[in-house]
Amino acid sequence: MTDTLTPDDLRRVDQVVELLRQSKSLLFITGAGLSADSGLPTYRGTGGLYDGRDPEEGVPIETLLSAEVLERCPELTWKYLLQIERAGRSARPNRGHEVIAEMEKRFERVWVLTQNVDGLHHRAGSRNVIDIHGTLHQIRCMRCAAERAVTDYEGFALPPLCTHCGGVVRPNVVLFGERLPARQLATYRTETERGFDLVLSIGTTSVFPYISAPVLDAHHLYRPSVEINPGETDVTEFVTVKIPLGAAAALDAIWTRYNA
């Protein structure tokens, strides 16, 4: 992999390797750019499910995937939840997920703060995961609150109903207009208050305040941070090292040279 990188890429990779050698605790902040390397499409990004167009109803996907529409017209929200789950059903953890899981075994303290709801970090072997937007693979009844894990949505009705009480079920994800889940938010606060030797922001535009905050905190506390993203983001100007590459390629190169 490293033989395809430019000299500038390798210089930046080696800077990250040196930062890793000086660190005992790591925070990975991951977004859609990491899962994209597994072939999982985004909603609005280039090549995404709804790139440049609204769904069939002529309503923005952000509206259809909102708590308000789920409550009022659950079959409409579920129509698009089924599309999104089906589009990513064959996705598997990529080399980026694997590297992060391997690092968890080698450093004293490693946490992953992910916006992704696909569960790929867990499947790659990461244990310390804050899935701040929840997961598609855990559903709960909106009436009796019964929960269960699911592998996929194959055979789901439109909308799917609870086997206990017949109420409409929903995935344990944060829909537009909803608050962050209490359990994940509590873990987020506990771990970020402890601080990290190195913060790595990977494949995310960092538009949400709780996603950009650890990078900005590192900047203000004079601690190092890294961004892996082909484009410029809201935190680019604040990081110590910026690697303008795809997530999986960059992480593989970093880990290869770290272990050389």
- Residues marked as catalytic: 133
- Encoded tokens for 69: 């529409």
Whole-angstrom distance, CA of residue 198 vs CA of residue 249: 20
The kind and range of the H/E element at 120 are helix 120-124
Residue in 205, 131, 210, 130 with CA at minimum distance from that of residue 174: 131
Question: Residue holding tokens 């589009």?
Answer: 87
Return the amino acid letter for 28: F
Question: Residue holding tokens 């609204």?
Answer: 54
Q: Residue 190, class by beta-carbon neighbours within 10 Å (0-12 exposed, 13-18 middle, 19+ buried)? A: exposed
Whole-angstrom distance, CA of residue 16 vs CA of residue 34: 18
Helix axis angle for 95-106 and 247-258, nearest 10°, is 40
Query: What is the DSSP annotation of 40-76?
Result: ---SSSTT-TTTTS--TTSS-HHHHTBHHHHHH-HHH
Residue 145 CB coordination number (10 Å): 11
Contacting residues for 172 by C-beta, under 8 A, at least 6 apart: 134, 135, 138, 139, 140, 147, 181
